[in-house]
Structure 1
Amino acid sequence: MSKTSSTLHERQSSNGTADSGSTGEDIILECRDLSVAFEMDRGTSRVLHNVDIDIRRGEIIGIVGESGSGKSMFASALLNAVVDPGKTSGTVTYHPSDDESDPVDVLGLDKGPLRTLRWEDISMVFQGAMSSFNPTMDFREHFVETLDAHDYDVVEGIERAEELLADLYLDPDRVLDSYPHELSGGMKQRALIALALVLEPEVLVMDEPTAALDLLMQRSIISLLSDLRDKYDLTMVFITHDLPLVTKLADRIGVLYAFEFAEVGNTAEMVENPRHPYTRALLNATPNLDAPLSEMRPIEGSAPDPVNVPAGCPYHERCPMATADCEDVKPPMELVTDTHEVACHHWRDVDDEVPLSVGVER
């Protein structure tokens, strides 16, 4: 599949700052004012709010945050897959690599084209491999069903499935002739990744793909994903609560807090020089063999209620740096460097106010 560069002008965001990565980068997915909300008896539950981000072709971007921060909703919104009664607004624009193809308004697609896009262009690996498979079908049937549904040549598709399974260090013959209950959790997860890639999508979105696996298998899959990106020229969006894990895979990291991005930057800067006090709190709460237990700091307080997100900076009620401005004025996204942006009024003072303990090993 040929790749081509799409030229984008530098966009000024609604808060007056330029989006990092949008100046001449080859963008494959653009999100603008992306929001997800659920109407409830006690009010509107805001589970993703006015998110602006560009995802670059060929990169691996890690999306991290606490449980309930909006990570899974962001993943679902990228594919217009938020279930009713959730309402998705804003825009998600997909830029195919094909020279002759126009940009695709993902949220505006009818059911048929959307179904095609979800497997053939942007594919997703959901949490929990076991629940993704029909227990009465062997894996070969799963692959054949997917290929048939999209009018792909089954013989060629199974050959690709065999190659993908081998790339993931699985025995293709054994896996294809096995039922889900006959494989371990790690094997099922790798088979699910192969199934998600069998139609040759450009983008792979993964929602906590290693959450139920032991540490050794997590590290193994992380290494395999990096190899797959290089071999198949993939773009990956990796959703996780595990910040140390994603630093070993991602080119960039976006930190979600209260359904918005608090900080986005390349991985080295995010680990070595985070500017948002929440990112620093995540790093300081991470177990590290090189840091004494006394230096670990749990994040005090709890994330905001999605029906009642505070005014101003959504982190101010838990932030040791909060001032009156933080309570009243929402901080804009500001560029720290050309590859790093943060939404914090006091990011220049964070070194003194929220010092880092021993950093995360990359």
Structure 2
Amino acid sequence: MSTLLEVDNLRTYFFTLRGVVRAVDGVSLKLNKGETLGIVGESGCGKSTLAWSLLKLVPPPGKIVSGSIKIDGLDVTRMSEAEVRRKIRWRKISMIFQGAMNALNPVYKVGDQIIEPLVYHAGLEREEALAKAEELIEAVGLPPEILERYPHELSGGQKQRIVIAMAIAMEPDIVIADEPTTALDVVVQAQILNLMKKLHREKGISIIIITHDLGVVTELAEKIAVMYAGKIVEYGSADDIFEKPLHPYTQSLIRAVPRLKGDIHKLEYIPGTPPDLRRPPRGCRFHPRCPKRFEPCDKEEPPFQEVEKGHWVACWLHARR
């Protein structure tokens, strides 16, 4: 399979008056053509910052400090803003933003917002762009008359579908979905997930889904990256992560989710709170909350190693074997 996205040792920091926040601190990952990758972790672990970095849209005072982001062989970090807008953003990689209502302009009709990238980036005439917008609306399961409505006239599920239509308007190779089911009821969540699976299947789009909901990840992702405090601590296939989790953090996340069948266990929680990324703990960043910590955990950072084929983990429990 051809590699569409390759991230190598990416570091994105926020330079605030109270110190440097290491939101993404040495992340490396790959995404192949037609693949779906889930990125999971607690709030504040750096998932959304990683997504913004991939589009080179990190809001100030954030900045990509080092590392590389190669999309279809092109290093985004070395390109100017004009080059990224012309060659990369929305054409090769796009994003379904968290909170559909916040992503839509309340004073413009839905149709005007969908055709904007088609007019300015694809160079289509307004009539051509409107025809394309109707196709996009039908592709996400909405009637054409939606184009004449304002965002406040739509339900949460409809707004989410509009944002998905905007993300696929330029037919990108990769779509990032940042918490696509947030604030939606379970019925609409299922509809949105089914729509994304349909787009993945029919259009061959590679999807990166960012969420803290493990149930959402099981529906979509073939591979999963578990993030904690700005770092990826475990990476592997969905089967490996859920059936054979290696990192204590991954194990704790899974035990915090209730099960209706199979290995029914007592629900647990992770004690403590995520670390302050201005002053992350020395050694393994999870060690202050880890029930399995031992001597090197608070002194040295564990290497990110392949324990089994395609299954990587950063933990001294497995690095010593």
Q: TM bucket by the smaller chain?
A: over 0.9
Given that residues 123 and 204 in structure 1 are in contact (C-alpha distance below 8 angstroms), is that contact kept between their aligned partners in structure 2? yes
In the other structure, the counterpart of 1:352 is none
Identity %: 39
| 2:306 matches 1:335 | yes
1:150-161 counterparts in 2 under 5 A?
150-154=121-125, 155-161=127-133
Cα distance in structure 2, aligned partners of 1:34 and 1:281: 26
The one-letter code sitting in structure 2 at the alignment partner of 1:26 is S
Residues 292 and 273 from structure 1, CA distance in 2 versus in 1: closer, same or farther, beyond 3 angstroms? closer
In the other structure, the counterpart of 1:266 is 237
The one-letter code sitting in structure 2 at the alignment partner of 1:164 is L
Deviations 1:84-104 (A, max 9, x none): 111102110111xxxxxxx21
1:103-182 counterparts in 2 under 5 A?
103-116=73-86, 117-154=88-125, 155-171=127-143, 173-182=144-153
In the other structure, the counterpart of 2:214 is 243
Q: Secondary structure at the match of 1:346?
A: helix
In the other structure, the counterpart of 1:55 is 31
Cα distance in structure 2, aligned partners of 1:52 and 1:253: 13
The one-letter code sitting in structure 2 at the alignment partner of 1:163 is E
Deviations 1:299-358 (A, max 9, x none): 111111101111111111111110011111211112122221111111499xxxxxxxxx
| 2:81 matches 1:80 | no
Instruction: Point out the more displaced range, 334-343 or 311-320.
Output: 334-343
Cα distance in structure 2, aligned partners of 1:29 and 1:57: 9
Q: Secondary structure at the match of 1:54?
A: strand
Cα distance in structure 2, aligned partners of 1:143 and 1:30: 29
What number of residue pairs does the alignment pair up?
318
1:1-362 counterparts in 2 under 5 A?
25-88=1-64, 89-95=66-72, 103-116=73-86, 117-154=88-125, 155-171=127-143, 173-290=144-261, 295-347=266-318
Given that residues 157 and 198 in structure 1 are in contact (C-alpha distance below 8 angstroms), is that contact kept between their aligned partners in structure 2? no
Residues 182 and 110 from structure 1, CA distance in 2 versus in 1: closer, same or farther, beyond 3 angstroms? same
Residues 215 and 306 from structure 1, CA distance in 2 versus in 1: closer, same or farther, beyond 3 angstroms? same
Calculate the aligned-residue CA RMSD, in Å: 1.9
The one-letter code sitting in structure 1 at the alignment partner of 2:49 is M
Shift of 1:291: 8.3
Cα distance in structure 1, aligned partners of 2:165 and 2:2: 26
Given that residues 2 and 33 in structure 2 are in contact (C-alpha distance below 8 angstroms), is that contact kept between their aligned partners in structure 1? yes
Deviations 1:257-305 (A, max 9, x none): 0100010111111111111110010011113334899800011111111
Cα distance in structure 2, aligned partners of 1:167 and 1:147: 16
Residues 337 and 159 from structure 1, CA distance in 2 versus in 1: closer, same or farther, beyond 3 angstroms? farther
Given that residues 175 and 207 in structure 2 are in contact (C-alpha distance below 8 angstroms), is that contact kept between their aligned partners in structure 1? yes
Cα distance in structure 2, aligned partners of 1:274 and 1:26: 27
Given that residues 157 and 199 in structure 1 are in contact (C-alpha distance below 8 angstroms), is that contact kept between their aligned partners in structure 2? no
Q: Secondary structure at the match of 2:9?
A: strand
Q: Secondary structure at the match of 2:242?
A: helix
The one-letter code sitting in structure 1 at the alignment partner of 2:5 is L
Q: Which runs of 5+ in 1 are unaligned?
A: 1-24, 96-102, 350-362
The one-letter code sitting in structure 1 at the alignment partner of 2:68 is T
Residues 233 and 294 from structure 1, CA distance in 2 versus in 1: closer, same or farther, beyond 3 angstroms? closer
Cα distance in structure 1, aligned partners of 2:161 and 2:268: 35
The one-letter code sitting in structure 1 at the alignment partner of 2:209 is F
Q: Secondary structure at the match of 2:15?
A: strand
In the other structure, the counterpart of 1:360 is none
Cα distance in structure 2, aligned partners of 1:299 and 1:307: 21
Given that residues 64 and 253 in structure 1 are in contact (C-alpha distance below 8 angstroms), is that contact kept between their aligned partners in structure 2? yes
Instruction: Point out the more displaced range, 104-113 or 270-279.
Output: 104-113
Residues 232 and 161 from structure 1, CA distance in 2 versus in 1: closer, same or farther, beyond 3 angstroms? farther
Cα distance in structure 2, aligned partners of 1:164 and 1:228: 11
Q: Which runs of 5+ in 2 are unaligned?
A: none
Given that residues 16 and 61 in structure 2 are in contact (C-alpha distance below 8 angstroms), is that contact kept between their aligned partners in structure 1? no
Question: Normalising to structure 1: TM-score of the pair?
Answer: 0.84
Cα distance in structure 1, aligned partners of 2:185 and 2:269: 23
